[in-house]
Amino acid sequence: MPSEKTKMLAGESYDPTDPTLVEERQRARERTRGFNDTAPADADARRAILDDLLGATGENVTVEPPFRCDYGYNISVGDDFFANYDCVFLDVCAIEFGDECMLGPGVHVYTASHPLDPVERTSGTEFGEPVTVGDRVWIGGRSVLNPGVSVGDDAVVASGAVVTEDVPDGVVVGGNPAEVIREV
């Protein structure tokens, strides 16, 4: 029988109270607390923590504290990545950012989801769907990327947008739910 972690990573229904998963979330909280408590000029300490916490980090990665995530190891960021203050990544499944991505303050990326059926939902199980962001994407402040979405290369997500469906390459989306506003 597969472990709860294996089921989680595969996007299947899993029990988040599994001791291994609880321990791994605790580890991520300890790492993000250390990251968030670093001195503003201590770029080396911040980079070391990110390299330890995240699954993959490219060159020239900047994340402004505070930052929160569930596990960290499911997050990959490419070269020249920038995330402003107060970003939250719920990474029960993979979150992948391409190169040259910029995130405004308070961007939230969710892979975690819950069953719609109320009996299943109150049982405590959950599942996830990965989120993928292409190259040269700008995600405006207070935007939300929901489970399972992909954002194409060269796209712009306007501030405050709630992305519920895939975003094509080279467009600007905005609103709730986000819709294409124009081409870049």
Give the DSSP H/E element, type plus range, for residue 77: strand 75-77
Q: How far apart are CA 14 and CA 26, in angstroms?
A: 18
Q: Which amino acid is at 129?
A: E
Catalytic residue among 114, 115, 126, 169: 114
Owner of token pair 């905005």: 174
The question of whether 108 is a catalytic residue gets the answer: no
24 half-sphere exposure, CB direction, 13 A CA radius = 19
The secondary structure of residue 104, as a DSSP letter, is -
Token pair belonging to 173: 């989306």
| C-beta of residue 166 within 8 angstroms of C-beta of residue 131 | no
Residues 6+ apart with CB under 8 A from 129: 11, 93, 111, 113, 147, 148
Any idea which residues carry the catalytic annotation? 114
